[in-house]
């Protein structure tokens, strides 16, 4: 097989690259190892941070890419990240993401917002309606409409090299080894390695290696392919992870809405004029997998218990990796009436929730009843969450008595006792690796760099695999980078004049 441009990966960045290349007049083949397109994008929060959009202008917000560029530094300061950012790629993102929003909107993607997220100094977060699957729906439809040949169940394995030029891809499809050649360029958009235990163990730690990934098929295939020919990875030790509340057993009605433009436009208009209570309900239904409990809960005295009613970790030390080894990898956050009252009003929130900034205990009671469990006594709350009542009572007694039976668990210390009903259990929760940050070194044209930073002719990278040392902290930057880098890489590949001519 042959095409002008070959794209590896059918997530957001890969589909963006395919549409970008085909719109520039190139013939395109896209290889996706799964049986359907979507990637990590389809499992994401769905927001993009951008400036100078029609949504900002409608709200009277005067904003610029330069201000966005400057504010990205504030996220690094807030998180005390001292390593250098790739300022060339940061500029590429902030200058081009406004056009990405317009480009996606023209395909039928509908955005709600923009919404605030500190430390952004202006509202920039555009949330997709009804959820992140809408990106895949509209991009895949547009790709097929303009002639992209999407081949699913096709797992890329290695590159074909002609000198320093990457001219093709070997892949497996239906149990057979095949190859596809690119007359102009190849765009690698294969995602991260969050689901590959070996790479996580080598680059990060055994604890991270044992922790479940949001996307179980993010196995670092593209990184391995590029390393084999001399590419290099930057920020391999960085990752985003933590405890999240699990998805509801039944998807919310919001997540089941079809992403038809007319329906989403109607929903958008309705939300603009809706009271705050309706917006809060919508956002918490929308963010089914990204509600992250605050560490303030544990510092104030809440404890983690597993399905056996046992306390198993030091809740105050950050990400409790021990959770990965508990029954079903699940836990509940247990606290009493005193903490329930405390976490019902500012500044003590249960979790952050983009769109209305903070979610309190009442938000979970109203909008996520599957996670909210309340009873007057410990045995009663144990019955609600299905843990042994006697064990839960013993666990709380040991905590209150400032005792610990395991070296992995610190005693209560100066945290308050859990003594007054009603008692609350929020959960279940699980630990996840959201994504790894190790991306291939690329230049400002998104070409993959080899020895001495010499680019491989004909090979581009986009999305997570092409992150190139960029530090994408804050909601909306990873997706913004995925679509923007994919769109641009596809265009660059389509316009490239090959050194060795068309392959025959």
Taking only the tens place, the pLDDT of each residue in 442-462 is 999 999 999 999 999 999 999
CATH number of the domain bearing residue 212:
3.50.50.60
Q: Are residues 410 and 457 in the same domain?
A: no
Compute the mean pLDDT over every residue in the chain, rounded to the nearest whole number. Answer: 90
Residue 412 shares a structural domain with residue 370:
yes
Q: Provide the whole-model pTM.
A: 0.87
Per the domain annotation, does 503 fall within a domain? no
Integer CA distances (angstroms), 142 to 106, 107, 139, 349, 460, in order = 10, 7, 5, 41, 22
In the DSSP assignment, the letter for residue 448 is E
- In terms of domains, do 91 and 209 share one? yes
Q: Both 277 and 345 in a single domain?
A: yes
- Residue 11 and residue 135 in one domain: yes
Residue 179 forms part of a structural domain: yes
Domain membership flag for residue 504 = no
Q: Which of 432, 453, 487 is the last residue of a domain?
A: 432
Cβ neighbours for 175, distance < 8 A, ≥ 6 positions apart: none
Distance CA 373, CA 428 (A): 10
385 neighbors 332 (Cβ within 8 angstroms) = yes
- For residues 273 and 405, state if they share a domain: yes
For residue 122, being part of any structural domain is answered with yes
Our measurement of the distance from residue 125's CA atom to the centroid of its chain's CA atoms, rounded to an integer in Å, reads 15
**178 plus 139 within the same structural domain:** yes
Q: What is the rounded CA–CA span in Å between residue 277 and residue 284?
A: 11
475 in the same domain as 353: no
Pairing of strands 233-234, 439-440: antiparallel
Indicate the residue among 417, 432, 447 that finishes a domain.
432
Strand partners, 414: none
Q: How many other CB atoms sit within 10 Å of the CB of residue 482?
A: 32
pLDDT digits (tens, 9 = 90+) for 25-63: 999 999 999 999 999 998 887 899 999 999 999 999 999
Whether residue 321 sits in one domain with residue 405: yes
The residue to which tokens 């695999």 are assigned: 465
Q: What is the pLDDT along the chain (504 residues), one digit of tens a residue?
A: 999 999 999 999 999 999 999 999 999 999 999 999 999 998 887 899 999 999 999 999 999 999 999 999 999 998 889 999 999 999 999 999 999 999 999 999 999 889 888 899 999 999 888 888 999 999 999 999 999 999 999 999 999 998 889 999 999 999 999 999 999 999 999 999 999 999 999 999 999 999 989 999 999 999 999 999 999 999 999 999 888 888 777 666 666 667 777 677 776 776 666 676 666 566 555 544 467 788 899 999 999 999 999 999 999 887 888 898 899 999 999 999 999 999 998 888 888 654 445 678 988 898 788 999 999 999 999 999 999 999 999 999 999 998 766 666 888 888 999 999 999 999 999 999 989 999 999 999 999 999 999 999 999 999 999 999 999 998 899 999 999 999 999 999 999 987 654 443
**Which residue among 379, 398, 432 closes a domain?**
432
352 by DSSP, 3-state: which?
A: strand
Statement to judge: residues 162 and 302 lie in one domain: no
* Distances in whole angstroms, Cα of residue 225 to Cα of each of 8, 345, 463, 465: 11, 50, 16, 11
* Cα gap 466→485, rounded to integer Å: 8
> Residue 362: which domain range?
248-432
The CA-atom distances, in angstroms, between 252 and each of 166, 256, 257, 270, 483 are 45, 7, 9, 18, 26
Contact 130, 259 (CB under 8 A): yes
Residue pair 149/29 in contact by the 8 Å Cβ criterion = yes
Q: Is residue 500 assigned to a domain?
A: no
Tell me: do 465 and 353 sit in the same domain.
no
Q: Tell me the backbone φ, ψ of residue 399, rounded to 5 degrees.
A: -65, -45
State whether 394 and 366 are in the same domain: yes
Q: Which residues of 345-355 are buried (b: 16+ CB within 10 A; e: fewer)?
A: eeebbbbbbbb
CATH code for the domain of 352: 3.90.700.10
Q: For residue 502, is it within any domain?
A: no
In a domain, 398, yes or no: yes
Residue 355: what pLDDT? 45
Residue 369 lies in a domain: yes
- Total domains in the chain come to 2
């Amino acid at each position: 097989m042959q095409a002008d441009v070959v794209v590896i990966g059918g997530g957001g960045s890969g589909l963006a690259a395919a549409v970008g290349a085909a719109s520039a007049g190139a013939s395109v083949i896209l290889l996706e190892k799964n049986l359907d397109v979507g990637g990590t994008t389809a499992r994401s929060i769905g927001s993009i941070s951008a400036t100078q959009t029609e949504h900002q202008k409608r709200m009277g917000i005067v904003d610029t890419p330069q201000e966005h560029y400057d504010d990205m530094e504030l996220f690094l300061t807030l998180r005390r990240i001292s390593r250098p950012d790739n300022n060339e790629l940061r500029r590429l993102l902030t200058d081009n993401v406004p056009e990405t929003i317009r480009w996606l909107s023209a395909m039928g993607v509908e955005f709600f917002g923009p919404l605030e997220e500190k430390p952004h100094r202006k509202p920039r977060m555009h949330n997709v309606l009804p959820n992140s699957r809408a990106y895949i729906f509209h991009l895949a439809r547009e790709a097929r409409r303009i002639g992209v040949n999407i081949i699913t169940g096709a797992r890329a394995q290695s590159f074909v090299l002609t000198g320093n030029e990457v001219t093709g891809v070997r892949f497996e499809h239906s149990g057979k080894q095949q190859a596809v050649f690119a007359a102009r360029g190849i765009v690698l958009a294969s995602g991260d390695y969050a689901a590959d235990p070996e790479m996580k163990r080598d680059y990060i730690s055994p604890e991270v290696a044992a922790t479940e990934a949001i996307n179980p098929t993010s196995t670092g295939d593209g990184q391995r392919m590029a390393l084999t020919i001399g590419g290099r990875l930057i920020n391999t030790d960085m990752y985003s992870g933590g405890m999240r509340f699990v998805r509801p057993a039944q998807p919310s009605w919001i997540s089941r809405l079809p992403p038809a433009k007319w329906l989403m436009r109607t929903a958008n208009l309705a939300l603009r004029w809706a009271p705050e209570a309706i917006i809060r309900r919508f956002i918490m239904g929308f963010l089914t997998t990204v509600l992250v409990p605050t560490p303030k809960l544990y510092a104030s005295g809440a404890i983690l218990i597993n399905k056996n009613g046992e306390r198993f970790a030091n809740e105050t030390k950050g990400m409790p990796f021990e959770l990965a080894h508990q029954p079903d990898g699940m836990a509940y956050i247990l606290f009493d009436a005193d903490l329930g009252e405390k976490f019902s009003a500012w500044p003590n929130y249960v979790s952050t929730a983009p769109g209305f900034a903070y979610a309190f205990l009442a938000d979970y009671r109203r909008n996520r009843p599957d996670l909210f469990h309340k009873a007057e006594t410990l045995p009663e709350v144990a019955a609600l969450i299905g843990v042994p009542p006697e064990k839960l009572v013993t666990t709380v007694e040991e905590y209150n008595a400032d005792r610990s039976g395991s070296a992995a668990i610190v005693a209560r210390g100066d945290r308050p006792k859990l003594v007054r009903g009603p008692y609350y259990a929020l959960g279940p929760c699980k630990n996840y690796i959201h994504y790894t940050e190790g991306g291939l070194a690329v230049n400002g044209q998104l070409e993959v760099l080899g020895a001495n930073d010499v680019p491989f002719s004909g090979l581009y990278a986009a999305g997570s695999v092409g992150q190139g040392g960029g530090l994408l902290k804050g909601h909306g930057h990873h997706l913004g980078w995925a679509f923007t880098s994919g769109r641009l890489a596809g265009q660059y590949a389509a316009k490239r004049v090959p050194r060795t001519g068309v392959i025959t």
